[in-house]
Structure formats: structure tokens, C-alpha cells
Structure 1
Amino acid sequence: MTTQRSSDPHQLASAAVVVGVDGSEASDLAVRWAAETAAQRGRRLHIVHGLDLAVARAVLGVYDLMVPAVIDTIRRQGADHVATARRLAYDVDQGLTVETEVCEDHPAKLLIERSAAANLVVIGASGEGGTISHLGGTLLAVVSHGHGPVVVVRDTGTEYQTRCVGRVVVGVDGSEISEAAVGAAFAEASDRRAQLVAVYAWSDLPYGRFAGLPNTIPDRGVAAEAQSILAEQLAGWQEKYPDVDVMRKAYLSGPRHHLIEWSRSAQLLVVGSRGRGGFRGQLLGSTGNALIQRAHCPVMVVHSP
């Protein structure tokens, strides 16, 4: 277990819960989730909106007379977005300390910068899955390059709302970043007074490749190796968080399939920003990509400390 340093900026009392807003329904859902989390933890809620004025000026550069009016409209829209988000946050808890920020920067740049000192960053996504383009460049940039935990709250377009009850589920794969995800998952489970489910798949091969097999691992040697990896990555954390009840689940293959299935009844799913075999320069692991598109609960992506 890696000992968490008291100097970790994301755990300081001054670290706020940061949420990016853009006026969409997915953004509203993210604000409610962020406000609930900030209220539960006694932290400030910091609502931010990036105007991306550089792009607007570049697009309108050949129409000099239009620039001031368009920029004013963009600024008013940005102010409206954060004002609406503030009202949504106070609907959750009137006692919240809420701060708002409207900045000229690109929203991804703004959120990545704020993530350095944030307890966590929350961002909304829409769509039922499909191609990665459904998530948008801002979300992918923040999830890939943010500092500390980044939580994606996805609006599926259904009656589904984020849950305040249910398990916390963490994906374990034996990598260094996976250990950071396990630590974050234990902290979340403790804060939320929830059971923690640690899910490990021995192989990254798609679940369908072994269709028809039971959910147990038939090979005793493989099963023992899987349990050993789970035990190693959980070692120490259960002693640090004795209040957390832990369930261990090991499968032969298909990590994304099993994590998505567990997310159906979970209130939060936690994964590392890169999986085993991932390259340090890689934007986001394939399992993480699949989960932020298709999980049935908010997904926390944890970066290296």
C-alpha cells in the first residue's frame, strides 16, 4: 500500500469540489452530484465555465464589426450558465459555500488547471454510448490530463438519476495506477458508508470470447493467481479503513463487461486512468473509455499521485 501524504493538495481542507458547466442537462446532473458530494464532505463547491473566447475571436476575425456583440452574448450566456448552476446547488443544500468562475479560457484548459488543487473535478456527459466522439473533446481532455480524481456523471437520457446508496466498485488490474484507484475507492466507500466491491479480470480479452463459462475461474492456478493479485492490491487499505466491508470478485476475462454489470447497482465506479500494459503517454485506457461511455453510475478516473 502506498501511504498517502498529508501534503496531498487534493485532500487539504481548502480543496474544493470543482464542477464544469455548459448549460446542458448532463451539466445540470453533474452540478447536483457535485453539490451532494461537497455538502457531504463539508467542502466548498466551485462552479466554473470556460468561454473559449480565443476561438470565437479567431472565427469572427474577418467580421470585425460583429466581434464585440458576439463576445458580449457569449459572456452573458456564460454568466447565465453559472447562475443556473448556483441555483441548482442551493436546491441541494442551502448551507453550501458556492463560488462561481467565468473565464476566457477553453473549458478543458480551465478545468485541468483547477484540478491541480481540487478535491475532485466533476464533469457531465451525455449519450448512450457509441463512439468516443459522443463524449466531446473537453471531457476527454479533462479525464486524460486532469490531476487527482475526475468524475464523469453521464446523462443517459432516461429516468435514471445518480444514486446516493449502493456499492462503490473499483477495477483492479495489478498496475501501479490501479493501486491509486483502490486507495481512492476505499476513501469513497468510507465517506459514503458503502460496501466496496473490488473487481479483477485475469485477462483483458473480451467477455464474449469465453461465452458460456461460469463467473468463476475454472483453472485453479489462474484462480489462485487472481486472488493473490487482489490480496496484494488491497493489502493495507482494509487496515486503514476498517469500517469498509470489502467483497472480492475475480473473473477470467472481460473487465469492462463485469465492471459495467456491477455499475448497474453501484453509486460510484472507480478506475485508474490507464490499465495494465498502458503507456504513460496514452490518453486513457480502453477499459476507461468504455466505462465513461457505458457505465450506469458516475465513474471516477484516478490519476497517478
Structure 2
Amino acid sequence: MVQAVVVGVDGSPAALAAVETAAHEAALRGTSLRLVHAFGWPSVHVPPRAAPWNPTTAGVRELVDGTLAEAESRAREAEPQLEIDREVTVGEPVMVLELESRTASLVVVGSRGRGAFGSLLLGSTAVHLSAHGHSPVLVVRGRPEPAGPVLLAVDGSPAGEAAVGFAFAEAAMRGVDLLALHVWNTRTERAYEGPGDPLNVVVDIDRLQQEEQRLLDDTIARWQSRRPEVRVERRLVRSRVRHALIEASAEAQLLVTGARGHGGFTGLLLGSVSQALLHHADCPVAVVRGEG
């Protein structure tokens, strides 16, 4: 049986939107939905002689029950036949969800939850899970285009293979097209700008473009044979990577990216492009970590 889809619940509007998305994802996979609510110990100063804080006597149980009941109601409105279970635990939400991701097929979170920094564009839970989660992480944000394709950010890296497979599976389950977008630019040209430029450096733009097209074609061909029912549009764009992907996300219902691709600091678990998409994409973003 397919492992459950897990969604973080905290009562915020973003989390409730995530519950609806998670319910649809669970229905597509033919699996159950797991509502997870975690709360930490109070950060306020407790007098030395005060009685130990007890969530059962502090009105927390009623609050949690109400939050989960509302979340379950939203899930059942979205998918009436869905099997739903609840999990309530004491602990830091980000660590609890990371642990849940070890046995989940997908973890879904809102782009922002409750917390001290409600004005931030992206919550710390979403960022941490995207970098450290053991399953794919879907961050619900933006306004997805219901009739749009699944948008795949293709970078050709070995770590990005898992994202390609995930994108094909999502397109197949949703019954929509897959838009495979590979963005390239002439970073080689800019490397020699300045008074010390060697005069004999010439970049063959046509050859470079052909190589990038080959990378895109090879990446898609490996998965197209496994998912022949998915219609794929391959799009090669010469532009800035972040700008092109964010612009394309306006026409998509889901954007899929790897956690880390070519270039940058390879020790980082979440690349700068992935972070930019989590902050600024116009549709939900699924971050899929590769092996290693």
C-alpha cells in the first residue's frame, strides 16, 4: 500500500489550504491522509514554584481538538471518501514533520503558518522540510492554474532525476501535460569580462544551445518511455534561471524542482533556485530531494 500523505496542521489559513491540497494528493495516490499537529512547550518564564505546565489543564486540548476538527472537515469537503487519521504530539513542529517524512509518500505544508514572524514570505518549517525532509515536500502557495500543466525545472543533474520521476507521476495522476523547462545562459561569456579578458576566448553560442537541448532531450527521454501516457512539452529558454521559472509558474498548477542542482555550493541541502521558487512561485512547489 502507498504510504500516507502527511499534512502539517496549525489552524492558520495557509495550513487549511494545505489540508485541501493534501487531501487531493492522497486521493490521487489512493492512500490515506494523516493530519499532524505539534506544539512546543511554552516559551514564557514559569515561576520556580509554579505547578508544571500541563496541556490537559491549560485549555490546549480544546484548542487542538478544534483545530484538527476544522482541518478534517476541510479535507472531507475536498475528498469525502478519504481515510483520515490524526496525530497530536508535543515537540517542535519542524522536527515532528521531518520525522513523519520518513514514512510518508508526501509531506504537505502551507507557505506560512502561525508563529512570531507571520509577515515572512515563507515559514521556517517549509524551508527546513524542503532541505531535510525524507519524502518529497509540497509547499502550497500562490494561485495555481487549474487547467495548467505540471511544470518541471530541468537541470540535468543526477540529483534532479528524482524530481523528474515525481513530475511525470504527478502529471499522470492529474491527467495533464508536463511542461519540461530547461533554462540556460552564457555564464561562460561573463567569466571573462573585465580588463584581463583573454582575447582568444570565443563562445560558440549555437553549439552551446545544441548541448543544452541535448541535455533536456536526454533527461526527458529516460522517463518518457516509462510514462508514455504523459504528453510532454520540452521548452528550452535562454534566460536567468529564477526569472524564467517563476514566470512560467504563472501558467502551471504545480512546479516540481530538485532540492539542489548544478553549480553553487554543493554542500547546501537546498539550492538558491529552489529557495527562490519557494518564496516567489505563482503556484504550489514540490521539492524532491535526490539520493545522497
Shared fold per TM-score greater than 0.5: yes
| Cα pair 2:9 2:19 within 8 Å, conserved | yes
Q: How has the CA–CA distance of structure 1 residues 196 and 31 changed in structure 2, closer, same or farther, with 3 Å as cutoff? A: same
Distance 2:86 2:266 in 1: 34
| Cα pair 1:51 1:74 within 8 Å, conserved | no
| Cα pair 1:49 1:101 within 8 Å, conserved | yes
Show the counterpart of 1:10: none
1:304 maps onto 2:286 in alignment = no
Show the counterpart of 1:149: 136
Deviations 1:175-214 (A, max 9, x none): 1122211111111111111111111112397xxxxxxxxx
Shift of 1:283: 3.7
| Cα pair 2:145 2:250 within 8 Å, conserved | no
Show the counterpart of 1:124: 110
1:247-286 correspondence to structure 2 within 5 Å: 247-286=233-272
Amino acid at match of 1:100: R
1:134 maps onto 2:134 in alignment = no
Amino acid at match of 2:7: V
Shift of 1:62: 3.1
Aligned with 2:182: secondary structure? Answer: strand
| Cα pair 1:195 1:246 within 8 Å, conserved | yes
Q: How has the CA–CA distance of structure 1 residues 52 and 202 changed in structure 2, closer, same or farther, with 3 Å as cutoff? A: same
| Cα pair 1:167 1:195 within 8 Å, conserved | yes
Deviations 1:14-33 (A, max 9, x none): 40011001111111110011
Distance 2:66 2:131 in 1: 28
Shift of 1:61: 3.5
1:177 maps onto 2:159 in alignment = yes
Distance 1:242 1:266 in 2: 21
Distance 1:151 1:260 in 2: 16
Distance 2:112 2:90 in 1: 24
Shift of 1:260: 1.2
Q: How has the CA–CA distance of structure 1 residues 32 and 277 changed in structure 2, closer, same or farther, with 3 Å as cutoff? A: same
Show the counterpart of 2:230: 244
1:203-218 correspondence to structure 2 within 5 Å: 203=185
| Cα pair 1:18 1:34 within 8 Å, conserved | yes
Show the counterpart of 1:201: 183
| Cα pair 1:272 1:302 within 8 Å, conserved | yes
Cα RMSD for the two superposed structures: 2.4
Amino acid at match of 1:236: R
Amino acid at match of 2:185: S
- TM-score (norm: length of structure 2): 0.85
- TM-score (norm: length of structure 1): 0.82
Distance 2:45 2:56 in 1: 9
| Cα pair 1:170 1:199 within 8 Å, conserved | yes
- Larger proportion of helix: 1
Distance 1:113 1:44 in 2: 18
Instruction: Name the larger-Rg structure.
Output: 2
Question: What runs of 5+ residues in structure 2 fail to find an aligned partner?
Answer: 114-118, 188-203
Show the counterpart of 1:211: none
Distance 1:178 1:71 in 2: 48
Q: Taking every aligned residue pair, what percent have the same amino acid on both sides?
A: 41
Shift of 1:38: 1.2
1:233 maps onto 2:215 in alignment = no
Shift of 1:284: 1.4
Show the counterpart of 1:7: none
- 4+ long deviations beyond 4 Å: none
| Cα pair 1:79 1:102 within 8 Å, conserved | no
Q: Which moved more, 1:63-72 or 1:89-98?
A: 63-72
Shift of 1:90: 0.7
Shift of 1:278: 4.3
Shift of 1:228: 1.0
Amino acid at match of 1:51: F
Show the counterpart of 2:209: 223
Show the counterpart of 1:46: 34
Show the counterpart of 1:5: none
Q: Which moved more, 1:15-24 or 1:251-260?
A: 251-260
Shift of 1:95: 0.8
Distance 1:146 1:39 in 2: 22
Shift of 1:74: 3.3
